[in-house]
């Protein structure tokens, strides 16, 4: 199976606490993701672990993300399944 490795970074004029407040609010994902990527929240848990979203890129096949680890203001781990499989980590 072909592997994909990607690393992105961005500098924004906000505090870590402000950023993690948004990233940890799974239910608001459809409000801020780019319009070319449709996000559907399938399940949102209070502690984030076990939350699920469907990601449908414009012109592409959907895939799913399940949030498997969350450390406040530090790390969020997502398990991908569907057309893509693997893990994504936000730090």
Edge-first strand listing for the sheet containing 37-43: 37-43, 52-57, 63-71, 75-82, 86-90
What is the spatial distance between Cα 67 and Cα 59, in angstroms, rounded to a whole number?
A: 25
Tell me the pLDDT of the chain averaged across its residues.
Answer: 91
Tens digit of pLDDT for each residue in 12-43?
899 999 999 999 999 999 999 998 999 999 99
Q: Does the pLDDT at position 62 exceed 80?
A: yes
pTM: 0.83
Query: Which pLDDT score is estimated for 5?
Result: 77
Query: Which pLDDT score is estimated for 1?
Result: 62
């Amino acid at each position: 199976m072909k592997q994909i490795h990607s690393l992105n970074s961005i500098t924004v004029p906000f505090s870590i606490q402000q950023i993690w407040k948004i990233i940890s609010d799974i239910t608001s994902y459809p409000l801020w993701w780019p319009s070319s990527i449709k996000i559907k929240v399938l399940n949102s848990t209070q502690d984030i672990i076990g939350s699920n979203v469907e990601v449908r890129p414009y012109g592409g096949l959907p895939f799913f993300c399940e949030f498997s680890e969350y450390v406040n203001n530090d790390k969020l781990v997502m398990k991908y399944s569907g057309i893509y499989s693997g893990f994504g980590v936000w730090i």
